[in-house]
A and B are shown apart, each in its own frame.
Chain A
Amino acid sequence: MDDAEAVARSLAGDLSAYEALVARYSALAQRTAAMLGAGDEAEDVVQEAFVKAYRHLASFRADAPFRPWLLRIVANETHNLTRSRGRRSELTVRLGAQAPVTAPDDPEGTAVASDRRARLLEAVRKLPDREREAVVCRYFLQLSEAETAQVLDCPLGSVKSRTHRGLARLREEVGGSGL
């Protein structure tokens, strides 16, 4: 059952089909919410987003991709949450997996690399909101420019310029490639 079929069946009232869509996208939705600033409340945001998506399913264009449409709802819910909490939307995830720390050939190099990664993450976290969101969508969520534009609800040109400004700032902050 592909997305289009699952959406069609959900619209016809088939909750099992919608459940399949939720299961398919829940990890990505969770990641998106956490990375756009939902923090500990990412689970609530995700659940709310899926409920809202279901209610608005009729407004979804059947020939459009479901993924960015859903993630835009997740992004909106995250914004609502951070606004209601009166806090800046922050990148709340932190470094997850490390490369094996015992790189046999170059242990010091591994330490340098993980330090650089931590600094790069810190630099991303400190970017202005709009630039950070564009960088997060493009590289951490690996969305296309078009998808990013849809998720962040801005023109394609803005995605390009925000990403570009963000990258320039990151380069300034952490320097050229150390890897």
Chain B
Amino acid sequence: MDSDDFGDLERELLALGDSLEVTGPPPAEVASAVRARLQAPDPAHDAPASPAVQPERPVKPLSKVRRWQLVAAVVVLALALTAAAVVWVLRSTGVEIRVNDPSPSPTVTREIPGARSADLEEAARQVGFTPKVPAALGEPSEILVGDGRVVSMFWDHVRLDQFAGGVSPMFVKQLGGPEWPEEVLVNGAHGWWIAEAHNLTYVTKGNGETTPLRVADSTLVWGDDVTGYRLEGVKTLQDAHRIATSLR
């Protein structure tokens, strides 16, 4: 077998396999669901066919009440199990986008924990990098620094967040449907255009605590090698792209 001829392709397939994410219920949940089924009345059928050995706990006929409880437990588990699906995880600097991952929408809108008003100079001092301003929008009406690492600028219905990106996400965006966001280039840096409203969660520095922020409007996320950006509230990719490329 000349498998060596396919070495590159085999390596590619292995890498591809690694990037395929299949989510299911947590193992402990599967285990208890299986156990519940095995303990259901019908011991003759469910016991392993090993004649010499007696089950450790003899299965007694269940009273009516217990049988009902058992059915209820199985139904609840079954509901929990069918909710699982395949989630696609995309990444941009400091941002994780989860596609096909429906979640309950935040009912209130929150700001990034610890957000305080600041001017540009003060913001730069706090986050350790110099925030950029999009020339296309002009001076922001307000600037906030959140969690000591995110600079947020505001204009009418438009918001730009800037953050020093790391490997672990600060923002998690959950898209309920299976459609991928559009992959784009912003000044040579990769990004994603999310046209639909989606749930936005913030992951706090250090302790990893998550805070549901809000249902976010259409957003462009992108990042260069050190800084991540998310521009929210611009209606079209064309406009968002024009603003994003005007950062100075």
Contact = CB atoms under 8 A, between A and B. Distances in A.
Interface of B is mostly: mixed
B63 interface: no
Interface of A is mostly: helix
B17 A140 contact: yes
Interface string A16-40: 0011101110110011001100001
A49 to B, nearest CB: 9
A98 B91 contact: yes
Contact of A55 (B49, B165, B222): B49
Contacts of A98: 19, 89-91
B43 to A, nearest CB: 10
Contact of A54 (B27, B46, B167, B183): B46
A86 interface: no
Given A10-B48, A97-B21, A107-B188, A117 B34 contact: no
Interface size of B as a range:
35 or more
A108 B190 CA distance: 8
Given A19-B35, A95-B88, A96-B88, 7 more contacts: A15-B56, A30-B30, A54-B34, A93-B86, A102-B92, A107-B185, A108-B188
Interface of A: 10-15, 18-20, 22-24, 26-27, 30-31, 34-35, 40, 42-44, 46-47, 50-51, 54-59, 92-104, 107-108, 110-111, 114, 116-117, 120-121, 124, 135, 138-142, 160, 164, 167, 170-171, 176-177, 179
Interface of B: 1, 3, 6, 8-10, 12-22, 24-25, 27-28, 30-35, 37-39, 45-50, 53-57, 81-82, 84-93, 165, 167, 183, 185, 188-192, 222-225
